[in-house]
Structure 1
Amino acid sequence: MNRNLVYLMPAIFLFLQPPGNAHDLWTQSNSAQVRTGEVVHVDLCLGNHGNHHRDFKLAGRISLDWIHSELISPDGTRVDLREGMTSNASAETEGCWTRPVIAELPGVYCATMTLDRVMNHGKSVRGVRTAKTYFLASDSLDRAKVPQHAHEQPLGMPFELVLKTCPFTQTQVGSPIRVQVLHRGEPMSDVVVSFIPQGTQLADEFDPEYESRTDSDGMATFVPKSGNRYLVVAHYTADDEKTDAYESTSYAATITLHVPVTSPLASR
């Protein structure tokens, strides 16, 4: 079989399913905080398909030709993350894409990934997937500062989660994490937001320990009880968003967070 076709197969499978069952995308870093000038590994991941999109597990690699991915630096510079990506698995259908980047400037970095593609699996569906994660570079880890709160600003994605809690000074076990769900820039109410600790199995259907519904302002809140890496995810299917090319639109948005037991920056 053609090598390019092999690693495309998981991506094709992503859209060869009913609209509500496609895989999610997320991006993650190996560390939430590093010294300026150090290397951070950024991963582009595909999965979170099991247990009603709440398993936070990999499910093969997406084709880099199908996505757009950027690293937004503290000065606003944007770099295409797909350049220089390599696989972290020997089998071409496993693992995820990863790339080392140097945090040259102090401040907050945002890694993003988006997908917008129409596929046909009996009927045509437009799949829109967005993902974000953040990490901080500081000249001193002992006296780290967060010079700006870029995480609070939407990026203009068609469907996105906006982090309203600082991932560095406010995120820790026992402290509430607040996110907002936006659809075309407007808050969405009554959307289920899942806060999935890596390695945790959520209860069937709705799990009140790890999930909540957005209020009239599109806000959802979660209080983590354990330190871990968390996948925050929201889904929405728009049956009224259709054209001659597709019959509905399936949306998903993720944010990946490192939640420490106690944040060294929480009191600053």
Structure 2
Amino acid sequence: MLKTSFLAAFAFFCCLTLNVSAHDTWIQINSPIVRTGEVAHVDLRLGNHGNHHRDFKLAGLLTLDWTSMEWISPSGERADLKPDLYTSASAEKQGYWTTPVTLDEPGVHLFVQKLDRVMNHGKSIRSIRTSKAFVICSPTLDNISIDSHSHSTPAGLPFELVLHQCPVTDIEVGQPITITVLHNGEPLANALVAFIPEGETLTGDTDPDHEFTTGTDGTVSFTPSKATRYLIAAHHTAMDEKSTDYEFTSYATTIALQIPNRVFAQPAK
């Protein structure tokens, strides 16, 4: 009886470990644009596991032990946000991490997260999960002057998405969004990128309206047909990246974007 209970508990633990390793992370911010001196609420979330990593839903609280969280200002100064994170739920392992950040410097503020952990559940796997998000800080919300464009500059992550358009002055319904997938700083061809509208279910093994494969330059484009929040997610399995500690490396990376009916603001002339 005790042996059976132990085996059942062990099997449950293994399944739980597998599920956690397979989840994605993303950074979600309450507003893509903030007036100088005001607060942006920065959330670190875990989920997007169902429907072949295409559901954009929460799946419990991320363990921070193997995770870093940074805030990079327009001038390039870095701040560690991990000590400032607190949970949104009273129940253990529920909700998500969040923290308010006051933005004083005009320009594009970049938030970057990285998880790097070796998991063992029958096979030893190195799991790398990264995410990025952007907030524009401006003295006025009507005419925005942007001196730096960190949205189009790689953050130096082992696996990341690079956004070609400014998330505030260039993105709107009916206009294409272009993304480049980088693996160790180089464009990754034949990578499947999903553009997941919040609250919608992608269809089939590959949804032709929301999933696209990168070309030789690592780039894909998607034209949103509705205004909502989208999770852009890419995955890559590197069977050749192994060591004595793990058999292969599993990558995932995301950007969460608000897509408006019209651009949030016009650039300053």
Q: Same fold (TM over 0.5)?
A: yes
1:211–1:108 Cα change, 3 Å: same
Contact kept in structure 1, 2:70 and 2:80, CA below 8 Å = yes
Identity %, equivalent residues: 51
Q: Which entry has the higher C-alpha Rg, 1 or 2?
A: 2
Matches within 5 A, 1:73-222: 73-222=73-222
Contact kept in structure 2, 1:14 and 1:23, CA below 8 Å = no
Deviations along 1:36-67, whole A, 9 cap, x unmatched? 00011000011000000000001011122220
Letter in 2 for 1:227: A
Contact kept in structure 2, 1:188 and 1:214, CA below 8 Å = yes
Q: Cα distance, 1:12 vs. partner?
A: 8.6
Whole-Å separation in 1 of the counterparts to 2:135 and 2:14 = 31
Letter in 2 for 1:30: N
**Partner in structure 2 of residue 234 of structure 1:** 234
Asked whether 1:257 is paired with 2:246, we answer no
**Partner in structure 1 of residue 30 of structure 2:** 30
Contact kept in structure 1, 2:24 and 2:129, CA below 8 Å = yes
| Secondary structure at 1:83 match in 2 | helix
Whole-Å separation in 1 of the counterparts to 2:264 and 2:122 = 52
Letter in 1 for 2:170: Q
Alignment RMSD, CA only? 1.7
Contact kept in structure 2, 1:197 and 1:229, CA below 8 Å = yes
Matches within 5 A, 1:21-60: 22-60=22-60
**Partner in structure 2 of residue 16 of structure 1:** 18
| Secondary structure at 2:168 match in 1 | coil
Contact kept in structure 2, 1:14 and 1:22, CA below 8 Å = no
Whole-Å separation in 2 of the counterparts to 1:15 and 1:215 = 34
| Secondary structure at 1:16 match in 2 | helix
**Partner in structure 2 of residue 7 of structure 1:** none
Scaled by the length of structure 2, what TM-score is found?
Answer: 0.91
